[in-house]
Homo-oligomer: A and B are copies of this chain.
Amino acid sequence: MENKGPFINELPQSGEITLLAIVLEKQLRPKRSGGVFLALRFADRSGELDGKVWENPETVSRAFERDDIVKVRGTVEVYNEKPQFIVSRIRRCDPKEYNATDFYPSSARDPEEMFGELHGFVAIVGLAPLRELLVNIVSDPAIGAALKFTPAAMKIHHAFRGGLIEHVLSLCNLSVALCAHYPRLNRDLLIAGAILHDLGKVETLAPSGVRFAYTIRGQLIEHVTLGLEILERHSSRMSEFSIELKTVLQHLIVSHHGDLDKGALRRPMLPEAFALSLMDLLDARMEQVFRLIDSTPCGDEFTPYIPSLERQLFRGFGVAQTEAPAISEVERTGGVVA
């Protein structure tokens, strides 16, 4: 096993560096002064980086392919205000030389552990046919395998391996908390909604190299249709699954986006559908907001403008100052201001 070396988001700005990275793009390009150079794009789970090979580009180019993991040596230069890596040596790595999880962003939690926790939530569903349906679905090998690594979205929230199941488990936990607070909510339905509402995403996004991409089915009919299909397939296999219960589950799936212009076919009409829809929005926002705050360079008080949210986020007073006494009090109590 080779040493991974520094991650791309913490690359030193000077000196020779050696690291492992995946090759996202590889292209020979003409130099203005004649001849060609080799333009590369590297990535690991922490970010991406442009690279250039000026010496023997044709020979170097034959030594590895797109999507290969390589060991690469060179220096960082700034070009048009962006860093690029000037490569002096590069070679292909064997699978046994690296740890694949270094090269794509993933949930911090272990997939199997999350999958076990999901089974635990299914087990506390009290209504027998509903519990049986959920057991069948999460035990379906095709679904289970995909659930362990699919992201919850391409970009907006939980956009990393295991993001979908992490989001589902967060909603299951919130379901339990909400039912404690609003005892009239039906916990069985809320857990079922948490598990089923985005389940079609296991067929909407599929691995594409170290990343995920929309499948054709995902593009053409989206996760709501695909989730309905999974529900239909599994409920039709159960001999006496009641049409009423299926209808309520279908309603939870088609209404979870809350409003027609956001992709719902029907607005929520049951208390549990309202709760699911708002809980889903809250959990997506919390993950998105904390991740955006974390990925902003420290020292900046605001994140860059976030088009999908139509705003910048505030990282808290004091992030750019260190000496202010108000700030240290803030830090004592562990939060943004207080």
Which residues from chain A sit less than 8 Å from chain B, CB to CB?
27, 29-30, 32, 77-79, 81, 125-127, 130, 170, 173-174, 177, 180-182, 184-189, 216-217, 219-222, 224-225, 228-229, 232-233, 236, 242-245, 247-248, 250-251, 254, 260-263, 265-272, 274-275, 278-279, 281-282, 285-286, 289-290, 293, 301-302, 309-314, 316-318, 326, 329, 333-338
Contact = CB atoms under 8 A, between A and B. Distances in A.
Given A228-B228, A244-B337, A269-B302, 17 more contacts: A27-B81, A30-B79, A177-B181, A186-B334, A187-B335, A189-B336, A221-B254, A221-B266, A225-B254, A232-B233, A236-B236, A261-B261, A267-B311, A269-B312, A270-B316, A271-B289, A278-B278
12 contacts: A219-B312, A220-B250, A220-B266, A221-B265, A225-B228, A232-B233, A260-B263, A269-B312, A269-B314, A270-B314, A271-B286, A278-B278
Given A245-B338, A269-B313, A251 B333 contact: no
Contacts of A174: 181
A182 B285 CA distance: 12
Contacts of A247: 216-217, 220-221, 317
Contacts of A250: 220-221, 225, 229
A274 B260 contact: no
Which 4 pairs from chain A and chain B are nearest by CB? A186-B335, A127-B338, A261-B261, A188-B338
A228 to B, nearest CB: 6
A314 B244 contact: no
Among A224, A282, A333, A338, which residue has the most Cβ atoms of chain B within 10 A?
A338
A248 B271 contact: no
A270 B289 CA distance: 8
Contact of A189 (B27, B275, B337): B337
A30 B260 contact: no
Number of copies: 6
A189 B225 contact: no
Contact of A254 (B30, B130, B222, B261): B222
B251 A221 contact: yes
Given A228-B228, A245-B338, A338-B126, A216 B317 contact: yes
A247 B78 CA distance: 38
B326 A242 contact: yes
A282 B275 contact: yes
Among A81, A125, A270, A326, which residue has the most Cβ atoms of chain B within 10 A?
A270
A318 B245 CA distance: 11
Contact of A228 (B229, B278, B289): B229
